[in-house]
Structure 1
Amino acid sequence: MSAQPELGPTVSNPVIPGFHPDPSVCRVGDDYYLACSSFEYFPGIPVFHSRDLVHWTQIGNALERPSQLRLPREMPSSAGIYAPTLRHHDGRFWLIVTNVGDGGNLLFSATDPAGPWSDPVRLPGVPGIDPDLAWDEDGTCWVTVAGVSQVRLDLATGETVGEVERTWSGTPGAQAPEAPHLYRIGDYWYLLIAEGGTERGHAVAIARGLTPTGPFEACPANPILTHRGTHRPIQNTGHADLVQAPDGSWCLVLLGVRPGGGTPGWHVLGRETFLAPVEWVDGWLVVGELTPELPAPAWPLHPVPAEPARDEFDGAELHPRWISVRERSHHLCTTKERSGWLTLRAVGASPDENDVVFVGRRQQHLSCRARTLTDPAEGRGGLTVRLDEEHHYEIEAGAGEVRVYARIGPLRTEVAAHQVPAGPVVLGVDITETPPREARSGPDELSFGFEAADGSFTVLAALTGRYLSTEVAGGFTGRVIGMYAAEGTVHFDRFDYEPLAAS
């Protein structure tokens, strides 16, 4: 038997795991900045920094003030902030995005991508969703939107110039041409789009022309990237953005999912940000293999410190990783009332409600553990794993009891209950990925329980994760794990999150 070839060094893909869809990237010198969609969560549009396209650190959220981001209480989940494009031009960062449900397309700018970002310039003349920004040689700014159509834009006023014109819209017959990005590279303008819908048929296609408005010639090898009809572990590949590395090579950042379990496969973390190498061949992009382990790039890597497993809530403000549903009032959510504790005051009576007071972080690992020390002496609340108002599991403490609830579509049920001593209690969930052993096996199992004084963990209920998946719930988001108040005031002393080894 011949020896297997020895593999060189690799890096892990996704490069930004968890619910981080629709990535848009720009390079400024040796630094890269990336922004993602955030939908119904506040603050909105997480912004990341990297020195190597592989290791990313969240440096803020672009939309962190109510004046920048309105998400009405009646707005459904998976509406809100769609598909930002992040660009750097003339010494300034520009971000264009759609707020579905309030305001349509909006433009923001900043001198520092970590913020603060400006209040929005509203763009009533820019139709549709997924807006892109590109500048030609004379400084004209072009906005291209899903569909695909283009219009010129005055950045200072937000006014459009001229008529909206249709342009190349991808493969004839392919659904949902979207996520357009326009680039000037060499002699051509390249128009990169997604098509096929954001589910298993998702794909990336490209065309080129001599002017920003075309006419565009489609690449004969389109789609240049798709995993449809395959058993590859990364699926739903699309919504790509192109960036050049310091050594002159090129890469795509794009979204994809990692389905788990048996047929049909359930993805639970949402659409994540992946990296794919590309080459130019005869004036066209050729995308390299997109795998969970990529060959390490040729340029120097700059690893970043691992995120701490514990958040002590010692700061005056929450870390930018923490997000809430639609809004976050300082009166209802604060670290300033009790030193070293996060205090939540209830409005909605459970995570079923659009106005639940909730603070969470994205689940980023297929197997992980979360714990929080909860003091419900003045109310009732706990720890929830949320996909939306109709799909979530939680463990809740109050009145000397701990209860586990499951909400699946129109059904809400109490799964387990247990009396606990008076005083603060550590609530927790262990999420364990399950390998696809049989056709109906779910993607993972969620075990909810509490810790005793000796640190032992008592499991009250173990629930299948398939019902907290996009394939069941629909929508565009992924799981968020966090703390909520259901009645009165609830205090949380700490929150631990750490990955677990896969089973």
Structure 2
Amino acid sequence: MNYSNPVISGFHPDPSVCRVGEDYYLVTSSFEYFPGVPLFHSKDLVNWEQIGHVLTRTEQLDLRKAWSSGGIFAPTIRFNNGTFYMTTTNVSGGGNFYVFTDDPKGEWSDPVYVDQPGIDPDLFFDEDGFVYYTTSHDAKGQGAYQSRIDIKTGKRLSDVTLLWKGTGGQYPEAPHIYRIGEWYYLMISEGGTEYGHMVTIARSRRPDGPFESCPYNPVLTHRSTLNTIQATGHADFIQASDSSWWAVFLGIRPAGYPNHHYLGRETFLAPVTWTEDGWPIIGDNGTVGETMQAGNLPLQPKPNRQVRDNFEQTELAPYWNLLRSSDSQNWSLSEKKSCLTLYGSEATLNEIGVPSFIGRRQQHFSCRTSAHLTFAPQQDGEEAGMTVFMNERFHYEIAIKQIAGERKLIFRRRIGSLWKIENERPWSADSVILSVHADKINYVFEYAEREEEEPIRFGQGECKMLATELAGGFTGVFIAMYATGNGVRSISPAYFDWFDYQVTED
């Protein structure tokens, strides 16, 4: 049987995975979005269900100073002696830390900080009880660094030493250490998390080296190829219950020419084979495809996609995120029954702040998103609607806004320093259905007064104008509901009765 890549689509980069019996758990980076570190569960490594987030409390995650593509960098998840551990870096405040739990679906601990520089931390529990903490490069980008730590306190028990500089590629990062047989393997990524990305590996008889480089490096790369998947790297190994080996890793799916990608870096899966001299090779001699053989993986039925969220639960579904903070003044699920209520903060989408913003990742090139909004602005500047958002300098909106005492429906584009309301019309009704229809070329913005009516086209924005190659950063496009008072706190609630995310083409 075959499976399709990516196994987790949309902005889900830097995957790390662990296994407990027949269950697999996977985490990815989250950067400036709250809650932090999406957490997934699977029975087959292919079909993943998001079961929550690891960092769900402000005591665990302070993103108030996080710039776009700041915040939480690459996590590692491990299981040892009945306890789950997740370690990561908050580059915008606090540095490297880990949290732990005996129930990954429940609450995780407060952070335990580790006094070690670098990013992309890895936890390795050796059979002798020693715990090793490995991070990637210093300010000079030299390689993987390691110390031994006390797992109860996070205190270092040894000096931080350089393990391996890699094979010469820029930005050697994402270290993971494994003990397989008599060897300790150190896997890293080099070349930067762009089109030159690659995975390299070394091994030693000791966890602290010295490490010898694999003669077959890189063991995974798509650099200088025409593969539809690009920028493959940042891998983590996992041994399945049938003893087969697999790797999860990030990649991108560029659209058009020149290459541009805006869904973000996604999570892919490939088998790992071992050479006669004991070296791992990922995929087909270091390359992977969108269709791969599943081997003996016990493939489960694909989970049903939920199209509509009616906001009838007491908590947001796990696919929703906020920008930087969960400020309870900005949103509520209880103020109005079966509605998400947003109150516009002073912050706008054009600044690094805490706007009233609840969004989900765009995970498919072709999709249609819609929301039913009830909003009666009472003062100038009050605004609420839907945004297609990459960062504060690159986004599109369709919204209701009060301008000079008049309520209007607007379509606006922000591309770098260029900003313009492209279309507007008076709007007297208190409610509207807003829609965004995406394909690989354009986002088309539409509106309707009622759900049974044919929507009216109101604006259009090119997908490539939100691509990482232009907008920069490490994230992907979010489609979000938002509200703002444009400099002052809004007094008018924006009620979102429902939100649809419908895949129109896989």
- Which amino acid in 2 is paired with 1:429? V
Matched residues in 2 for 1:224 and 1:324: separation? Answer: 37
Partner of 1:424: 431
Which residue is equivalent to 1:255? 250
- Name the SS for the 2:469 alignment partner: helix
**Distance between the aligned counterparts of 1:415 and 1:350, measured in 2?**
18
Deviations 1:57-109 (A, max 9, x none): 0001000111110012x431000000110000011000111000100001100
Runs of 4+ in 1 over 3 A off after TM superposition: none
Aligned residue pairs total: 480
Q: Counterparts of 1:356 and 1:110 in 2: how far apart (Å)?
A: 31
Residue 395 of structure 2 aligns with an amino acid whose one-letter code is H
Quote the Cα distance in structure 2 between the aligned partners of 1:199 and 1:240: 14
Please list the CA deviations of residues 21-68 of structure 1 after superposition, one character each: whole Å capped at 9, or x if unmatched. 000000000000000000000000000000000000000100011111
Alignment correspondent of 1:437: none
Aligned 8 A contact 2:47 2:303 in 1: no
C-alpha contact 1:452 1:458 (8 A) present in aligned 2: no
Counterpart Cα distance in 2 of 1:411 and 1:491: 30
The answer for the alignment partner of 1:4 in structure 2 is none
- Give the fraction of aligned pairs with identical amino acids, expressed as a percent: 47
Counterpart AA for 2:160: V
The question of 1:163 aligning with 2:159 is answered: yes
**1:458 aligned to which of 456, 459, 480:** 456
- Counterpart contact for 1:57–1:304, Cα < 8 Å: no
Displacement of 1:349 in angstroms is 4.8
Alpha-carbon distance between aligned partners in 2 of 1:108 and 1:202, rounded to the nearest angstrom: 29
SS in structure 2 of the partner of residue 131 of structure 1: strand
Shift of residue 299 of structure 1?
Answer: 2.5
1:158 offset after TM fit, Å?
A: 1.2
Deviations 1:370-419 (A, max 9, x none): 00001111452000011111111110113542111111111211111123
Amino acid at match of 1:136: D
Query: Deviation string for 1:230-267 (max 9, x for gaps)?
Result: 1100001000000011111111000000000111x110
1:215 aligned residue (194, 210, 216): 210
- Say which of 434, 445, 449 aligns to 2:446: 449
What is the 5 A alignment of 1:291-370? 291-353=289-351, 354-370=353-369
1:225 Cα deviation (Å)? Answer: 0.7
Q: Does the 8 A contact of 1:371 with 1:428 survive in 2?
A: yes
- Aligned residue for 2:41? 49
Alignment of 1:235-250 (within 5 A): 235-250=230-245
Contact 2:431 2:449 in 1 (8 A): no
Aligned to 1:413: 420
The answer on 1:392 being equivalent to 2:395 is: yes
1:280 alignment counterpart:
274
Q: Which residue of 1 is the match for residue 465 of structure 2?
A: 467
| Secondary structure class of the residue paired with 1:139 | coil
1:195-236 Cα shifts (integer Å, max 9, x gaps):
011110000001111010111111101001100001100001
Secondary structure of the corresponding residue to residue 376 of structure 2: strand
The match for 2:86 is 95
What is the match of residue 474 of structure 2? 476
Cα pair 1:376 1:398 within 8 Å, conserved? no
Partner residue of 1:440? none
1:372 maps to 371
Q: Does structure 1 residue 188 correspond to structure 2 residue 183?
A: yes
C-alpha RMSD of matched pairs (Å): 1.2
Aligned-pair distance for 1:281? 1.1
- How big is the shift at 1:421? 4.2
Q: CA deviation at 1:501?
A: 2.1
TM-score by length of 1: 0.94
Q: Alignment partner of 1:460: what SS?
A: strand
* Residue in structure 2 matched with residue 381 of structure 1 by the alignment: 384
Q: Does 1:15 align with 2:23?
A: no
Following TM superposition, by how much is the alpha carbon of 1:304 offset from its aligned partner in structure 2, in angstroms? Answer: 4.3
Q: 1:55 is matched by which residue type in structure 2?
A: N
The aligned residue for residue 24 of structure 2 is: 32
* Maintained 8 Å contact 2:331/2:341: yes
Q: Report if the CA contact (8 A) 2:271-2:282 is conserved.
A: yes
Q: Name the counterpart of 2:141.
A: none
Instruction: Give the match's secondary structure for 1:81.
Output: coil
- 1:500 is the counterpart of 2:500: no
Q: Letter of the aligned partner of 1:98 in structure 2?
A: T
CA drift at 1:127: 1.2
CA–CA distance in structure 2, aligned partners of residues 501 and 134 of structure 1 = 41
Alpha-carbon separation, structure 2, partners of 1:349 and 1:254: 35
- Greater Cα shift, 451-460 or 17-26: 451-460
| Aligned mates of 2:422, 2:292 — CA distance in 1 | 42
Q: Say which SS state the counterpart of residue 223 (structure 2) adopts.
A: coil
Contact 1:357 1:485 survives alignment (8 Å): yes
Counterparts of 1:79 and 1:398 in 2: how far apart (Å)? 30
Which residue in the other structure is 1:137 paired with? 127
Quote the Cα distance in structure 1 between the aligned partners of 2:178 and 2:225. 30
Gaps of 5+ in 1: 1-8, 434-443
**Match of residue 438 from structure 1:** none
Equivalence for 2:192: 197
